[in-house]
Chains A and B, each alone.
Chain A
């Protein structure tokens, strides 16, 4: 079975400081991993995805994530937070075994203080 655990339900950072949103996954098969962002009252937007190519994945808005198989982790980072980054972030796993269906984590709400 596949699962995703987002280790923090809420992260608060100051503008200009680094962001780290943690995600661990469980999958018996080669997974695809995604990070989606949801701004208030909006739909979900893809930030980045890992599909067995480079382990360091760069996404939109300066975000990146590193796939670490040994740690079963896919943490999302950004060097410098911006006020517009305040949103909820979802780590998601998928695999051919699940027919590509997405398994969502519970989400991490990111707050950015001025």
Chain B
């Protein structure tokens, strides 16, 4: 299995531009998570999906952030417009059904720099 796939691995953009991050979960996993990692705040859960449905988006910082999961094998996290404080590493993770006892598998992350 290729694991969780994220693209792009690195993104540099200018303030005000739209940014789209992509994630392909492990086949057969039915939960998908988006995290943000910064030096100041550590790892934060932004949003998660069960069976393609958003369950909890309370971690999404602002309306500038949105996430979709149109099917079981693809999800996007969009920032529009982007700001320098959005610079971080964004991780996608997926999990097999079973709840608390199944670990999440993380992708390699997308390092976003907003100038």
Nearest B residue to A29 by beta-carbon distance? Answer: B100
Asked whether A43 lies within 8 Å of B43 as measured between CB atoms, the reply is no
B109 to chain A, nearest CB (A): 5
* Interface residue tally for chain A (C-beta within 8 Å): 24
* Interface residue tally for chain B (C-beta within 8 Å): 25
Asked whether A43 lies within 8 Å of B109 as measured between CB atoms, the reply is yes
A41 to B93, CA, bound (A): 16
A96 to B43, CA, bound (A): 20
A96 to B100, CA, bound (A): 5
A58 to chain B, nearest CB (A): 15
A30 to chain B, nearest CB (A): 9
Contacts of A51 in B (CB 8 A): 100-101
A87 to chain B, nearest CB (A): 14
Q: Which among B4, B42, B101, B105 is the interface contact of A104 at CB below 8 angstroms?
A: B42
Task: Flag A82-114 by CB within 8 Å of B: 1 or 0 each.
Answer: 000000001000111011111010110000000
Asked whether A90 lies within 8 Å of B43 as measured between CB atoms, the reply is yes
Asked whether B100 lies within 8 Å of A95 as measured between CB atoms, the reply is yes
B35 to chain A, nearest CB (A): 8
Check B49 for interface membership: any CB of A closer than 8 A. Answer: no
Check B18 for interface membership: any CB of A closer than 8 A. Answer: no
Check B25 for interface membership: any CB of A closer than 8 A. Answer: no
Check B34 for interface membership: any CB of A closer than 8 A. Answer: no
A71 to B106, CA, bound (A): 30
Task: Flag A1-20 by CB within 8 Å of B: 1 or 0 each.
Answer: 00000000000000000000
Asked whether A104 lies within 8 Å of B43 as measured between CB atoms, the reply is yes
Check A78 for interface membership: any CB of B closer than 8 A. Answer: no
B105 to chain A, nearest CB (A): 8
Task: Flag B1-32 by CB within 8 Å of A: 1 or 0 each.
Answer: 00010000000000000000000000000010
Known: A51-B101, A104-B43, A107-B42. 14 other contacts (CB 8 A): A32-B101, A36-B106, A41-B111, A42-B108, A49-B101, A49-B103, A95-B100, A96-B100, A99-B55, A100-B101, A100-B102, A102-B45, A104-B42, A107-B43
Closest 9 CB pairs of A and B: A100-B99, A100-B100, A43-B106, A44-B106, A51-B101, A104-B43, A43-B108, A94-B100, A96-B100
